[in-house]
Each structure stands twice: as structure tokens, then as C-alpha cells.
Amino acid sequence: MNGEWLMRGRDGRLGVYLSTGDAVLCRVEEGPGGPWEATPRKAGGDQKLHPVLATGQGPDEYVHLVSWRPTVRGESGLVHSTHFRPRLAPLDWLPIGHPDRTGGRTGDPAVAVDAQGRAHVFVADRTGGLSMVAQKEKGGWDSWRRLKGSGLRDAPAAVTTESGLVEVYAAAPGTILHWRQEKAAAVPVAGEPLETSVRPGTLRALATSAEHTTLFYTDESGDLCAWRPGGKPTALLTAAGPGRVAAVRCVLDGHDCTLLAQRAASGRIAFAAYPTEQESAGAWWTESGPPLPADARISLAVDEHGDVVAATLTPATGRLLLTRRKDEPGLALEAWREV
């Protein structure tokens, strides 16, 4: 999974998107606040997929899904689907090509959606650089473009700014690369890279103000760091565990805060919150819920009332747990429940 997989749809219902076996499954609330559908639905029709999924959501709250599918022997191509409303079926998977025209999988994709509702898909190409393809405003897809870079070793992290422009981050040995659109529909251009060590599989980007996006990553010393291009990274706190964090902006006690969540070494879910873009205020982990298997995933969202919702998924069993913030000061959470 690349991107948050717990999302609030256009009608206020929450939905989860799961890559399992050769399909993507979708499960949604029957109404805002629940209950949930008892059985997940297959997204995008009956095409067989590889077990990879990237998710993105634009200001219109449509959910975009991207995966790889096998084509001819030894080769694969990327496919895209849009989910307009949780209670509707997602569109069928449509092919969007390959960064090298043909070949096998080159890496896990990322997707971000601009202010006009156009999906931008990013993936490493066979040269080790980053390539992208974007939807046209009136339907269809543009040609693939190479954004260059080299030595990419990880899935990129794509994000949409508050102004609706698309940015993308990617890690290479000893550096983080960054590209940003200068205007709507423009090809993202490379900015100044950051020299730093990065643990693979830890990039997560979040829009944090009108001017900035913030990249969260774990460095080789085990610190969870926050970086905004144009500045220096801040070591926020020691990572609670391996893998990327889940991140969401929310209002806590009247303050604009960034909430992070990660599966801790204990197996429980650790949460940390701090005033958005004020890393100097400090943050600390608070663990919650039962111990979960090592492959458990965590995702965060904000519901139609502005309350934080957290979900965990255990892929091997399909077990989905959910909690919401209580209506009281601080970040007190309800008991986790299986849905």
C-alpha cells in the first residue's frame, strides 16, 4: 500500500481499500458513522492484479486507485480506477501504460490528484529515475514523461498542496529528491535535493499549509524526521517501529495539529500529535489498542464531523479494527472494535 487507504468519500461515508491476492477490495460504511458492509466488494472489475496498490484523493473527494496488472508473459502494465462515491462501484480498471512502454514492474507507484481532479501517477523507470503520466482535463491520459533522477530505491510519495498543485518525493542513496508543479497542469520540476540517509519504505508526504508540504521519513539512525523543501529536516522523535507512518491534519482542542501513527515494536499502534509545522514543540508516542501482527497496517482519516478515525488491517486474516477520537479534550480514543 502506498498512501492512506482509509478515506472519507464525497457523501461522508468512510471506506477502506485493500490489496489482497490478485484483486483490490473495497469496504465502506452503510451510512456516515456506520455500520459497515459485512463483505468487501472487488474494485475495478475482474482483471487480475499484482499485489500492489497506490491511492490518492483530490479536493472533489473522488478516490483514485492505481495498480500493476500482468499483460503478456514476463511483462506488466499500470492500471487506474476511480471511485466516485463509497456506495457506488469503482470504475473498471483502465490501462495507463508503462514508463518504459513495455517490460516488467519497475517499482511501486504513487498517485496524487490536482485541483481539477486529474490523477498524476509516478513510478520508477528502468533507468532508476522517476517517470509520470497524468490525466488530461477532458479525458484520456497524456504521454509518459521522464522526470529524471537516478538510483531510486523506494516507492515515491506523492501529495497535493492546498492550492491544488502536485508534488512528489523519492529517495535515492544518501538523498531525497523533490519535484513540484509551478502551475496547474505543468510538468513537475526538480527542486534542490536533501542530502540525508533514509530507511527504505518510510516516505509519507502531507500538505501542511498553503505554502508547504511536509515529508516524513525515518533516517538510518532511527529518527522520524520532518522536512519541508527550502528548509532543514527536523528529527521529530524516535520512530516507534519500521515502515512509513500514517499522517493526517486535524483539529485537536481548537488547534491545527498533525497526527502521526505507526505500529510500534510492541505490536500496538503508537500515536503522536503536535501543532502543524511546529516540530520544535516536540511530540511523544502514546500506544493504543491490542498487539497486532508484524504485517498490520495503519491508516488515518477525518470523518464528516472533523473527528479523527484510525483503522488497522491485518492482511493475512482481513481483520479490520477501528477507533475514533472521544468527545473530550486531548487525543483520547474509543476502544478499538472489529468491523
**In Å, how far from its chain's centre is CA 268?**
21
CA 317 from centroid of its chain's CA atoms: 22
d(CA 197, CA 98): 29
Residue in this structure with the C-alpha cell 500515536, named with its chain if needed: 271
Structure confidence at residue 87 (pLDDT): 84
Q: Cα–Cα distance between 119 and 186 in angstroms, integer?
A: 13
Report the amino acid identity of residue 133.
V
- Note the residue count of the chain: 339
Provide the pLDDT for residue 122.
98
Separation between Cα atoms, residue 57 and residue 275, nearest integer Å: 24
pLDDT at 329: 85
What backbone phi and psi angles, to 5 degrees, belong to 239? -55, 140
Cα 158 from Cα 42, distance rounded (Å): 25
Say if strands 41-42 and 119-124 run parallel, antiparallel, or are unpaired. Answer: unpaired
Look at phi and psi of residue 319 and say left if phi exceeds 0, alpha if psi is from -120 to 50, else beta. beta
Residue 298's H or E segment, with its range, is strand 297-302
Which amino acid, one-letter code, is at 121? V
pLDDT at res. 108: 97
Distance separating alpha carbons of residues 227 and 42, to the nearest angstrom? 37
pTM: 0.96
pLDDT at 183 (0 to 100)? 94
Residues 52 and 5: their CA atoms lie apart, in Å, by: 12
- The tens place of each residue's pLDDT in the chain, 339 residues long, gives 899 999 999 999 999 999 988 999 999 999 888 899 988 999 999 999 999 999 999 889 999 999 999 999 999 999 999 999 988 999 999 999 999 999 999 999 999 999 999 999 999 999 999 999 999 988 899 999 999 999 997 899 999 999 999 999 999 999 999 999 999 999 999 999 999 999 999 999 999 998 899 999 999 999 999 999 999 999 999 999 998 999 999 999 999 999 999 999 999 999 999 999 999 999 999 999 999 999 999 999 999 999 999 999 998 888 999 999 998 888 899 999 999
Rounded Cα distance between 94 and 82, Å, is: 10
Output the CA angle 160-1-210, nearest 5 degrees.
15
* Residue type, position 79, single letter: V
The CA angle 19-293-296, to the nearest 5 degrees, is 35
